[in-house]
């Protein structure tokens, strides 16, 4: 048993020495400056990738070769391939758009930003996706056509976003939700995934401005304004989905009583006891809500609409 333990120890030492020597040799190995080889050399090995890529938008753009970058074809994105041909085992000799690549995510994104900069990507630097080390290839696949537009990794914009945003996927499954699953809108109608001046990547400066793009009748200005409505639509609504009507965060009338806790109706909300107790609930809340009377809850322009009755 003693001798066997000694052999195991000696073998472990040999393996450690070999690993050290292999690392030293790899570090000492000097490759020449990389040069461009041309698409023909790439296609000779990557037959399947070339076949998938031939149907993609980038293939048609690079085929025109209007600029020096476009004329490089595959190497316009993946970089010069001469060193990749010399050492096929290394993942650092060619830019591979993958989480398994030895090339940092930011360096991968720089390749895409050679052409795709400005416009919607103006606020990409410093955005939550950029600082979270999200790669362009996490959402897009320029080598094949899986989506109708955008060269996305999923079948649609929403499917691609749901790959990370699982909580929002669940919310859109709730009974009251925006018509996203029905195909009438998508995540980018409200958000700009490539960057924005806001933390949630909104396509406007505030939540309300985004909502007003569709719900213009709620914009105002109103003679009588409801303070929480003017402050933020999210005070009352969950834009991704809710199990309550109208995307409300809480069912009515409990939503209203979160702020309006005073018994302003003399009799209170029930004829006997507090809300939800007593044998004889007030008829004003039975199968109804505060909007039974306060119908213009988002604001009123009527001279007598101070309490949003009309």
Final residue of a domain: which of 151, 183, 204? 151
Length of the chain, please? 310
Check: CB of residue 211 under 8 Å from CB of residue 298: no
Do residues 140 and 242 share a domain? no
In this structure, the dihedral spanned by the alpha carbons of residues 249, 252, 254 and 260, taken in order and rounded to 10 degrees, is 100
* pLDDT for 266: 43
Final residue of a domain: which of 135, 151, 167? 151
Task: Give the chain's end-to-end CA distance (angstroms, integer).
Answer: 93
Structural domain contains residue 169: no
Helix (H) / strand (E) containing 229:
helix 227-231
* pLDDT for 19: 44
The whole-angstrom separation of Cα 65 and Cα 71 is 4
The whole-angstrom separation of Cα 88 and Cα 75 is 16
Cα four-point dihedral sign 117, 122, 125, 128: negative
Structural domain contains residue 7: no
Above pLDDT 90, what percent of the chain? 57
Q: How many CB atoms lie within 10 A of CB 197?
A: 14
Structural domain contains residue 1: no
* pLDDT for 1: 40
**For residues 158 and 291, which has the higher predicted lDDT (pLDDT)?**
158
- pLDDT tens column, 34-69: 999 999 999 999 999 888 888 888 888 888 888 888
Instruction: With a cut of 50, say whether residue 8 has pLDDT above it.
Output: no
pTM over 0.85: no
Instruction: With a cut of 80, say whether residue 265 has pLDDT above it.
Output: no
Structural domain contains residue 211: no
- pLDDT tens column, 136-156: 999 999 888 888 888 999 999
Do residues 42 and 124 share a domain? yes
The whole-angstrom separation of Cα 65 and Cα 73 is 8
* pLDDT for 25: 40
Structural domain contains residue 177: no
Do residues 135 and 41 share a domain? yes
Range of the domain at 260: 220-310
- pLDDT tens column, 196-244: 999 999 999 999 999 999 999 999 999 999 999 999 999 999 999 999 9
The whole-angstrom separation of Cα 127 and Cα 158 is 20
Q: Indicate the DSSP class of residue 152.
A: B
Structural domain contains residue 159: no
Do residues 135 and 49 share a domain? yes
Structural domain contains residue 195: no
Region 159-187: mean pLDDT is 95
* pLDDT for 94: 93
Instruction: Specify the number of domains making up the chain.
Output: 2
Final residue of a domain: which of 132, 151, 170? 151
Instruction: With a cut of 70, say whether residue 31 has pLDDT above it.
Output: yes
Structural domain contains residue 224: yes
Instruction: With a cut of 60, say whether residue 269 has pLDDT above it.
Output: no
- pLDDT tens column, 71-105: 999 999 999 999 999 988 888 899 999 988 899 99
């Amino acid at each position: 048993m003693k001798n066997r333990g000694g052999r195991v120890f000696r073998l472990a030492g040999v393996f450690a020495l070999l690993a050290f020597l292999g690392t030293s040799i790899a570090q000492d190995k000097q490759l020449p400056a990389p040069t461009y080889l041309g698409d023909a050399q790439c296609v000779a090995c990557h037959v399947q990738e070339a076949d998938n890529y031939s149907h993609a938008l980038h293939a048609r753009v690079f085929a025109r070769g209007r600029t020096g970058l476009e004329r490089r074809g595959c190497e316009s994105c993946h970089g010069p391939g001469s060193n990749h041909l010399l050492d096929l085992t290394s993942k650092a000799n060619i830019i591979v758009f993958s989480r398994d690549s030895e090339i940092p995510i930011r360096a991968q994104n720089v390749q895409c930003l050679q052409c795709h900069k400005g416009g919607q990507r103006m606020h990409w630097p410093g955005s939550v996706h950029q600082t979270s080390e999200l790669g362009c290839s996490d959402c897009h696949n320029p080598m094949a056509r899986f989506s109708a537009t955008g060269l996305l990794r999923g079948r649609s914009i929403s499917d691609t976003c749901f790959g990370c945003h699982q909580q929002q996927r669940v919310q859109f499954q709730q009974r009251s939700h925006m018509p996203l699953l029905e195909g009438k809108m998508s995540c980018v109608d409200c958000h700009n995934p490539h960057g924005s001046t806001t933390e949630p990547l909104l396509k406007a400066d505030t939540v309300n401005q985004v909502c007003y793009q569709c719900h213009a009748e709620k914009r105002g200005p109103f003679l009588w304004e409801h303070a929480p409505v003017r402050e933020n639509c999210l005070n009352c609504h969950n834009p991704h989905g809710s199990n309550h009507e109208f995307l409300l965060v809480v069912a009515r009338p409990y939503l209203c009583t979160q702020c309006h806790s005073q018994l302003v109706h003399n009799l209170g909300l029930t004829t006997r006891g507090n809300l939800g107790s007593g044998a004889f609930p007030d008829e004003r809340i039975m199968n109804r809500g505060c909007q039974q009377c306060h119908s213009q809850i988002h604001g009123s322009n009527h001279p007598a609409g101070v309490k949003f009755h009309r």
